[in-house]
Amino acid sequence: MRIDKLLANMGYGTRKEVKALLKGGNVRINGQPEKSPKTHVDPEQDSVTVLGEEVEYREFIYLMMNKPGDLISATEDAHDMTVIDILQPEDIIFEPFPIGRLDKDTEGLLLITNDGKLNHRLTSPKKDVGKTYYARIDGRVTDEDVEKFSKGVTLDDGYHTKPGELVILSSGDESEIELTITEGKFHQVKRMFEAVGKRVIYLKRIRMGDLELDPELDLGEYRELSDDELNYLFSITNLENTE
Ligand code: URA
């Protein structure tokens, strides 16, 4: 990889700014001053320093966000703010994108990465990664609903869902539930409740597989995944963690 690209990727400025940094004699490769932006380096092998400080090269970024209910899960949108818009510039330079989609009004666990392979594996219908949602429902959720969800329900477009594991936390005029599903059809949780004549009034994703939303994260906050969390994701997708 070209040294100017590597430094720009790592947040040392635009290509132009990085060129000036090089020209000023601020960059060393394996201890030797380097002025040409065209010089190639191997990020795995070569030591690069800027103003005497070692550049730690990384290709991928893996973030967990507690998504607020007013952002779009996309990289850009013509009308609304997206989850990427609220990231820090040092994270945006990695050009990350959300893994899967949460509706604009849905809160909770959203993974954001620039690792296309992990994204593909986690969203593949072949991988039955359970996604668990907490929801408040307008109406009384019953054991009959639990039974129906366990067999899958038929959505408004005729699609019969895979089984969903419905747990009733409280039941009344308004009910609280947790639902685990392994698919990600458009508005799936809302439409599954519509299929049994009920309406979701609040929805939050709390878990993906065994990966829990960090309760320390307020709405709109995010952090990097820990090594254990990342290893877990790689293990369930049969990928190796090379970070
Ligand atoms: N199901 C929904 O209806 N909405 C979401 O955001 C996620 C799952």
Does 66 have pLDDT greater than 60?
Answer: yes
Dump pLDDT digits (tens) for 153-189.
999 999 999 999 999 999 999 999 999 999 999 999 9
Closest atom of ligand 1 to CA, residue 200: 3
Dump pLDDT digits (tens) for 186-212.
999 999 999 999 999 999 999 999 999
Does 150 have pLDDT greater than 90?
Answer: yes
Dump pLDDT digits (tens) for 78-101.
999 999 999 998 899 899 999 999
Region label for 51, one of left (φ > 0), alpha (ψ between -120 and 50) or beta (otherwise):
left
Mean pLDDT of 53-69: 94
What does pLDDT average to over the chain? 94
Which residue shows structure tokens 């190639």? Answer: 40
Q: Give all domains of the chain, ordered by start, each with its CATH number.
A: 3-54 (3.10.290.10), 62-125+211-236 (3.30.70.580), 130-208 (3.30.70.1560)
d(CA 100, CA 65): 13
Which pLDDT score, from 0 to 100, does residue 241 have?
A: 63
Does 219 have pLDDT greater than 80?
Answer: yes
Q: How many CB atoms are located within 10 Å of the residue 120 CB? A: 13
Q: Is the CB of 192 under 6 A from ligand 1?
A: no
Dump pLDDT digits (tens) for 100-133.
999 999 999 999 999 999 999 898 877 789 999 9
Does 15 have pLDDT greater than 70?
Answer: yes
DSSP characters over 193-237: HHHTT-EEEEEEEEEETTEEPPTTPPTT-EEEPPHHHHHHHHHHT
CB 192 within 8 A of CB 154: no
Residue 119's closest CA among 190, 60, 176?
A: 60
In percent, how much of the chain has pLDDT > 70?
98
Instruction: Answer yes or no: 228 catalytic.
Output: no
Does 243 have pLDDT greater than 60?
Answer: no
Ligand 1 centroid, distance to 190 Cα (angstroms): 6
Closest atom of ligand 1 to CA, residue 205: 7
What DSSP element (H or E) covers 123?
Answer: helix 116-123
From 103, 105, 156, 173, the catalytic residue:
103
